[in-house]
Amino acid sequence: MSATFIDTPLGKFRVQFTALGLARLQFPKAKAEPITGSIEPPKNWLRQTTAALKTILVGKAPTILPPLDLSTGTTFQQQTWRALLRIPAGRTCGYGELARTVRRPKAARAIGGACGANPIPVIIPCHRIIGASGSLTGFSGGMHWKVKLLEIERVKLPLH
Would the CA dihedral through 96, 100, 101, 107 be positive or negative?
A: positive
Express each pLDDT in 62-78 by its tens digit: 999 999 999 999 999 99
Q: In whole angstroms, what is the distance from residue 155 CA to residue 95 CA? A: 17
pLDDT of residue 33: 86
What's the average model confidence in pLDDT over 91-99?
93
Query: Looking at the predicted structure, is the pLDDT value of residue 133 above 90?
Result: no
Query: Looking at the predicted structure, is the pLDDT value of residue 159 above 70?
Result: no
The percent of residues above 70 in pLDDT, for the chain, comes to 98
pLDDT of residue 50: 98
What's the average model confidence in pLDDT over 13-29?
96
CB 22 within 8 Å of CB 118: no
CB 124 within 8 Å of CB 85: yes
The verdict on whether 115 is a catalytic residue reads no
What's the average model confidence in pLDDT over 109-117?
94
CB 149 within 8 Å of CB 82: no
pTM for the full predicted model: 0.92
Query: Looking at the predicted structure, is the pLDDT value of residue 160 above 60?
Result: no
Could you give the angle at the alpha carbon of 23 between the alpha carbons of 37 and 66, nearest 5°? Answer: 125
Buried b (16+ CB within 10 A) or exposed e, 22-48: bbbbbbeebeeeebeebeebeeebbeb
Q: Under 8 Å CB-to-CB from 154, ≥6 apart: which residues?
A: 59, 90
Q: 21: pLDDT confidence band, cut at 50, 70 and 90?
A: very high
92 phi/psi in degrees, rounded to 5: -120, 165
pLDDT of residue 135: 81
Q: In whole angstroms, what is the distance from residue 74 CA to residue 42 CA? A: 26
Nearest to 150 by CA among 127, 122, 124: 127
Q: 1: pLDDT confidence band, cut at 50, 70 and 90?
A: low
Which one of the listed residues 22, 114, 126, 130 is annotated catalytic?
Answer: 126
